[in-house]
Amino acid sequence: MTDARSSPLNDILDRHRHDGTRLMQILRETQESLGWLSPATITAIAADIGWPRAKVEGTAGFYSFFHTRPMGEYRVLWSDNITDRMLGNLDLMQAMCQKLWLEPGRVSEDGLVSVDTTSCTGMCDQGPAVLVNYRAIPRMTPARVEHMVELIRTRTPLAEWPAEWFAIEDNIRRADVLLGNDMMPGDALKVCLARGADQPRIETASNERSFREAIHTGDAGPGATLDEIKRSGLRGRGGAGFTTGLKWEACRNARGTGENAAHYVICNADEGEPGTFKDRVLLTRQANLVFEGMTVAAYVIGAGKGYLYLRGEYRYLLEPLESVLATRRRAGLLGRNILDVPGFDFDIEIHLGAGAYVCGEESALIESLEGKRGVPRNRPPYPVTNGFLNQPTVVNNVETFAAAALVALNGGDWYRSLGTPRSTGTKILSVSGDCERPGIYEYPFGVTVRQVLADCGARDSQAVQISGPSGICIGPDEFDRRIAFEDIPTAGAFMIFDIRRDIFEVVRNFVHFFAHESCGFCTPCRVGTTLLKNLMDKIAAGHGTRYDINEIYNLNRVLQSAAHCGLGHTACNPLVHTLEKFRPAYERRLKSLEFQPAFDLDAALSEARQMTGRDDAAAHLATEPETSR
Amino acid sequence: MSEQTFNLDGQEIPFAAGQSVMQAALSAGVFIPHLCYHPEFRPHGSCKLCTVKINGRPATSCTTPACAGMEVESNTQEVLGKRRTLLQMLLVEGNHFCPSCEKSGHCKLQALGYELGVMTPHFNHFYPDRPVDASHPDVLLDFNRCILCELCIRASAEVDGKNIFALSGRGIGKHLIVNAESGRLGDTDFALTDKAAQVCPVGVILPKRKGFAVPIGQRRFDAEPISAHVDEFKPVTPGAGGRP
């Protein structure tokens, strides 16, 4: 780096216009180029964007995929969802570590490689999955592990690895209106414009968007389209189920403030809920429909700019999605004067996340989009009035935008005819776990769990975890319940566990997940999720008692009532649901004592044993004989 | 127009427009336990000690705007029990050794422990490894006691204009950092006179060479419980939401 002006870092900073709100992309691209974010690099970035250095370091330190220490030329991260566990990821990871003479989480002495686990990477239907330098590789096998170790040892660039390793299957098993549609790009927008064509256009030239803002609901294109969205009954597909029409209307009615007054459309593709992968498939197969939905939203609320927040695990989708955007720009479906309508200006940019589940929460997502730590905001105010850059912002899930495009195209009444009266339309389920045909299933709302299980070839099912760890766990006596907002609402995850599975280990995996993903803002979630993790590990080690079960309930009460956001509120859900329905899974591990200290004398000697290389009987303390109940 | 009020544990609390439940309560002389709230700063609601029940639903009183007719429960066994658990969480998360701490008797965490009757830490201590920073000529940073209230961050950014502190890490690994490539306070322009040096509710930011000037037993919260100091926490100007 003799010429400072043309260094990779300066090129990146120039490309991002030295804009601090673009810090996430600056950090990611810098790391892709330089390998890691050294203290000097962080100082240089902070000076360039005019932020305090510690604030830049704070952002870099928040996200799992940014490293402020060198992590090796090759970073292998094993997806550690329960579905990966069930497919044997831990054995494979251990084999890989042995072959590389590595401990998980540590960089090899020669700085070549590190191997670790990461939260669910969204490949549950084709696990066990890994990320190698943040590129997804599904379907790991012992043979692949062996081959991969060889490629790493010989420092073979990723570009020369077998191409078929990087192939991601869509596994669409059942398509309905969303996955089965064959809409031409722009068709929904043309219908939107036609809805307003017979209405007189009100031109006020005070600003570019004025003609849209001057039109009242119901008068012409944007208002008429909003009416169709409202009529459709469409509700958000990200889990919370807020009525889309009301959200758009509130945002449309909100005024931007200050010199940079604007409205924004954000698509939440931070699909982090373990067991969910339907947005990955939608963005692979129906990217045009999603972008069309975002453009419809922009038309309705009067937005000029949109962002797709793509989770870092889906890095491989960045280039294909950029190419879809480029095609749409060439077709006049993005950019200035869309479809030749003067002032209809809208463009979409893709923002890549960096491994933080909490950014799926919309206000944390906005913080992240602004270059900050992904910490959920205090609400109210809500994003519809004070969102991105404090301006009115619509944040919707990928599937919601795709559905909105179809509503715009076919009308609200058509959409309402699908599903149930309170849950209109279809829902895409990400089915994984113990079944013959894991993959993507799109159903009209109202389908029973039993039907889904039959369709995917699940046998001897013991439990289904619906909507991920923060959702609900149901047993066979509830399989006639329906997927719908009025019964079992879901963001899409559908993980099946048959009678061979240990539900306790399922829950322990989820509890570890929440502890890893807590943002740490509020006391109850930051400390409570780790306390829960320790409790579950204590029970797993055979030291649990009824006292510990009561502790779980106590912590649940505190997290439910005092946590800052949904992550903390729901972190105990898997525990509470399974304690109610699968209590023997816990009780068979308990000692019958009323109290058992978490401190394990024998375990405390493990370090000494390791240092002395001893593992004989005399190097162990006799543990107390188990008292039978 | 008559004064607007809400009900707090059976007592009518008047409030000015824009005040939070916490500000109104403190103005009326009713103490609600808190750690990350400070009358001079905009509340951000992270410690959750001030959690109350409003119309039957849990809420953070420092960030919830007061509304006429609210029914607020603060001094109930249920709410107090949860606050006790939150305090215990903070006590095991860091390394808090009151008997040898210079801040003992001036420490809000300790004072709230006494106030709420926290007799044990209840949970297993985490015993985190947090090195002390003694690089600054006048100030010692003992991260062992940090409860992540962010008051020093806010004070340094909003009053001192220096941005000396920030947070890094995530979840249980979240920690306070210093604005220097070395990470050391000695390499910043931090001064003992900074507002940020005055706001720490616990014993992280301590002046050097001034240990135990007031004997333990004669300190602020030794004489009277923290709830008796309610006047010190009243909003600076009525209705103000702290610094913007």
Q: What is the pLDDT of residue A628?
A: 41
Kindly report the CATH number assigned to the domain that includes residue A463.
Answer: 3.10.20.600
Which domains does chain B carry?
5-75 (3.10.20.740), 83-210 (3.30.70.20)
Measure in Å the smallest separation between the Cα of A320 and chain B Cα atoms: 31
Q: What is the pLDDT of residues B214-237, one digit of tens each?
A: 998 899 999 999 999 999 999 876
Q: What is the pLDDT of residue A379?
A: 86
Same domain, residue pair A40 and A157: no
**For testing contact with chain B, the best of A67, A368, A522 (most B CBs within 10 A):** A522
Q: What is the pLDDT of residue A621?
A: 78
Contact B82 A52 (CB under 8 A): no
Length of chain A: 629
- Identify the domain boundary among A475, A500, A525: A500
Task: From chain A, pick out residues whose CB is under 8 angstroms from the CB of B177.
Answer: 54, 57-58, 61
Same domain, residue pair A160 and A202: no
Q: What is the pLDDT of residue A629?
A: 40
Distance CA B30, CA B82 (A): 19
Look at the block and give the residue holding tokens 């079992």.
A488
B163 touches chain A (CB under 8 A): yes
| CB contact at 8 A, A58 and A46 | no
Query: With 0-12 CB in 10 A as exposed, 13-18 as middle and 19+ as buried, what is A421?
Result: exposed
Contact B58 A562 (CB under 8 A): yes
Same domain, residue pair A576 and A494: no
Q: What is the pLDDT of residue A131?
A: 97
Same domain, residue pair A535 and A494: no
Same domain, residue pair A449 and A571: no
Same domain, residue pair A541 and A442: no
Q: What is the pLDDT of residue A198?
A: 65
Q: What is the pLDDT of residue A201?
A: 53
Task: From chain A, pick out residues whose CB is under 8 angstroms from the CB of B60.
Answer: 378, 564
Q: What is the pLDDT of residue A205?
A: 34
Confirm whether A423 is domain-assigned: no
Task: From chain A, pick out residues whose CB is under 8 angstroms from the CB of B53.
Answer: 561
Confirm whether A181 is domain-assigned: no
The sign of the dihedral angle between the CA atoms of B150, B153, B159, B160 is positive
Same domain, residue pair A213 and A203: yes
Confirm whether A182 is domain-assigned: no
Q: What is the pLDDT of residue A216?
A: 39
Range of the domain at A262: 187-416
Contact B174 A526 (CB under 8 A): yes
Q: What is the pLDDT of residues A263-287, one digit of tens each?
A: 999 999 999 999 999 999 999 999 9
Predicted TM-score (pTM) of this structure = 0.93
Same domain, residue pair A584 and A512: yes
* Interface size between A and B, measured as CB pairs under 8 A: 122
Confirm whether A180 is domain-assigned: no
Residues of chain A with pLDDT under 50: 1-3, 203-219, 625-629
Same domain, residue pair A141 and A279: no
Distance CA B50, CA B32 (A): 6
Q: What is the pLDDT of residue B208?
A: 96
Same domain, residue pair A97 and A15: no
**For testing contact with chain A, the best of B34, B84, B89, B156 (most A CBs within 10 A):** B89
Query: With 0-12 CB in 10 A as exposed, 13-18 as middle and 19+ as buried, what is B242?
Result: buried
DSSP state of A359: G
Q: What is the pLDDT of residues B174-218, one digit of tens each?
A: 999 999 999 999 999 999 999 999 999 999 999 999 888 899 889
Contact A522 B48 (CB under 8 A): yes
Q: What is the pLDDT of residue A5?
A: 56
Q: What is the pLDDT of residues B10-53, one digit of tens each?
A: 999 999 999 999 999 999 999 999 999 999 999 989 999 999 99
Distant-in-sequence, close-in-space partners of B220: CB < 8 Å, separation ≥ 6: B105, B106, B111, B229
- Identify the domain boundary among A383, A416, A449: A416
Confirm whether A320 is domain-assigned: yes
| Four-point Cα dihedral B153, B155, B159, B162, nearest 10 | -30
Q: What is the pLDDT of residues A56-72, one digit of tens each?
A: 999 999 999 999 999 99
Kindly report the CATH number assigned to the domain that includes residue A542.
Answer: 1.20.1440.230
**Is the pLDDT score of B1 beyond 60?**
no
Confirm whether A573 is domain-assigned: yes
- Identify the domain boundary among A395, A416, A437: A416
**Is the pLDDT score of B2 beyond 80?**
no
Kindly report the CATH number assigned to the domain that includes residue A146.
Answer: 3.40.30.10
Please state the domain count of chain A.
Answer: 5
**Is the pLDDT score of B242 beyond 80?**
no
Strand arrangement, sheet containing B5-8: B11-14, B5-8, B71-73, B51-54, B57-60
Same domain, residue pair A507 and A494: no
Q: What is the pLDDT of residues B122-142, one digit of tens each?
A: 999 999 999 999 999 999 999
Predicted-assembly ipTM surpassing the 0.90 threshold: yes
Contact B171 A518 (CB under 8 A): yes
CA nearest to B179 within chain A: A54
Same domain, residue pair A494 and A619: no
Distant-in-sequence, close-in-space partners of A325: CB < 8 Å, separation ≥ 6: A291, A334, A348, A350
Confirm whether A464 is domain-assigned: yes
Confirm whether A68 is domain-assigned: no
Kindly report the CATH number assigned to the domain that includes residue A191.
Answer: 3.40.50.11540
